[in-house]
Chain A
Amino acid sequence: KAGVTQTPRYLIKTRGQQVTLSCSPISGHRSVSWYQQTPGQGLQFLFEYFSETQRNKGNFPGRFSGRQFSNSRSEMNVSTLELGDSALYLCASSLRTGLGNEQFFGPGTRLTVL
């Protein structure tokens, strides 16, 4: 069974631009969560989608948004990029929503904002 895939793997953008990252969950998994990982702040939860609905949200500004499609694939968008948005963005999928459902992480998208 294929794992979680994320595209692109690496991305370079400039301040003010917007970016869209994509995540394909493991087949059959309906929950997709997004995380931001930086050396300073560590791993921080962005949001979770289940059945095309946002179920939970972290403490990030409205510039960070996401959506989930009927095939469970998910995208996250960051608008008006700032230097501090440079990070590794990780997507994780699980069969169902809720704590206790093991999350499987993808390799991440490395975003660099210049």
Chain B
Amino acid sequence: GESVGLHLPTLSVQEGDNSIINCAYSNSASDYFIWYKQESGKGPQFIIDIRSNMDKRQGQRVTVLLNKTVKHLSLQIAATQPGDSAVYFCGTARDKIIFGKGTRLHILP
């Protein structure tokens, strides 16, 4: 069946550095991709999404890169701040969203 996997369950990054969170998916028919952030005790919060007709999309301090050839998705966070500490989920969809299990981002002072 379809699967979405994150490469690392945990990622530690120095404050001020850039963070890169990776995600691999299995369904080549997926045409919608999304990233969510979940802080402790809260529900997931939308960060950014991208359609399959694009390979890059930028938001505020975040960039999503999509490589359909190798079925890989990444989230880049520029100048990581303490408030970025959370679990990050990628999701892919054809008609409904399949999520990965999440990468916990730790910010080191």
Contact = CB atoms under 8 A, between A and B. Distances in A.
Interface of A: 4, 41-45, 48, 56, 58, 90, 92, 99-100, 102-108
B43 A45 contact: no
Contact of A42 (B49, B51, B100): B100
Contacts of B41: 107
A99 B97 contact: yes
Contacts of B49: 100, 102
27 contacts: A41-B101, A42-B89, A42-B100, A42-B101, A42-B102, A43-B91, A43-B101, A43-B102, A45-B97, A45-B98, A48-B96, A56-B95, A56-B96, A58-B96, A90-B43, A92-B43, A92-B44, A99-B31, A100-B51, A102-B46, A102-B49, A103-B46, A104-B46, A105-B43, A105-B45, A106-B43, A107-B41
Interface string B81-101: 000000001010101111111
A45 B44 contact: no
A92 B98 CA distance: 15
Contacts of B95: 56, 99
